[in-house]
């Protein structure tokens, strides 16, 4: 899981809202992401740290600002990302930052689980 910001990317590890919810509903983490930390800034050359069976990501864009979306497109179209299993299999999913990162609470958790159910319904 990652957050794209203008010119910057953070891997979201286990000790954050979405990380806790994913853990509680049974998601295992790849070794590189299986840390009891909040986030880890990564360089483009480290994008393979985001690889796994499924990749959820969100952007920090607000209305009228698309710098983070541009960063996400740039990084995910890079040859390093294109070689990742999760990108090759089409299992990189843009999710809503307000739900997955900013809101917190039971309603956000419920909406996050619904997102996961919708996504996995597509995978089946």
- Give the right CATH number for 2-123 from 3.40.640.10, 3.40.50.1980, 3.40.50.300, 2.60.40.420: 3.40.50.1980
Q: What is the pLDDT of residue 121?
A: 85
* Domain residue spans of the chain: 2-123
Taking the CA of residue 17 as centre, how many other CA atoms within 13 Å lie in the half-sphere pointing to its CB? Answer: 17
- Rounded to two decimals, the pTM is 0.90
User: What's the pLDDT score for residue 65?
Assistant: 73
With beta carbons less than 8 A apart as the criterion, state whether 91 and 53 touch: yes
Q: What are the residue ranges in the chain where pLDDT is below 70?
A: 63-64, 122-124
In terms of Cα–Cα distance, which of 74, 113, 78 is closest to 121?
113
């Amino acid at each position: 899981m990652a957050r794209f910001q203008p010119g910057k990317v953070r891997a979201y590890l286990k000790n954050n809202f979405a990380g806790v919810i994913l853990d509680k509903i049974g998601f295992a983490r790849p070794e590189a992401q299986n840390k009891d930390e909040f986030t880890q800034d990564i360089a483009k050359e480290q994008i393979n740290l985001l690889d796994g069976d499924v990749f959820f990501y969100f952007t920090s864009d607000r209305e009228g600002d698309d710098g983070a979306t541009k960063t996400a497109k740039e990084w995910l179209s890079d040859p390093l990302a294109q070689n990742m299993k999760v990108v090759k299999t089409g299992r990189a999913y843009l999710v809503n930052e307000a739900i997955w990162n900013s809101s917190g609470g039971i309603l956000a958790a419920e909406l996050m689980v619904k997102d996961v159910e919708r996504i996995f319904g597509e995978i089946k």
